[in-house]
Structure 1
Amino acid sequence: MYTTLHKSEKGWAMSTTVGVREFRQGLAEFIDQTEPVTITRHGQTVGLFIPVHRDRKADIAAYAEAAQKANALLEEWGTSEDEVVTEFDALRREDRQAEQST
């Protein structure tokens, strides 16, 4: 493994180069990195791994917003989560029975 410094659109950036075997063995560590990893086989570049780091706060905010919308719909429909689950289970049972009878 070796690290190089290269010019990117955002300025200077680090890049790590590793062989395929080393990449496989260290995948968990490479996932946690922030810089791209160039993967080589017999000295030839065969791939580029770019770790993606999601914004957990934005994800949590999106889930919270979706939950609020779902709760508002349930309230608008005058139903509860339990009633929706019961209806879903009944429909799924009907589908299974229809599949078994064919």
Structure 2
Amino acid sequence: MKSVGIREFRDKASHYLASDEAIAVKRHGKIVGFYLPVRDSEEGEVQAALMRLSRTVETALAQSGWDEEKLSQALDLSMSD
């Protein structure tokens, strides 16, 4: 999976949105989000995209040595208000 900075993603959004490649978006070297392309709006395609996202997150965790808690903290996925 390719990683790009948030400015690069913004500046080249048309290119990335037309691509089939999953992108990890970083700010100050930390992943802040993922772009996962979905070609069709059919439910099956959305489910396939979610499965790709799941595999991508699993790969990122394995490569980084992080656990889900550390990734959640890095992405600030807390559910508290």
Q: Calculate the TM-score normalised by the size of structure 1.
A: 0.38
**Bigger proportion of residues as strand:** 1
Q: Calculate the TM-score normalised by the size of structure 2.
A: 0.47
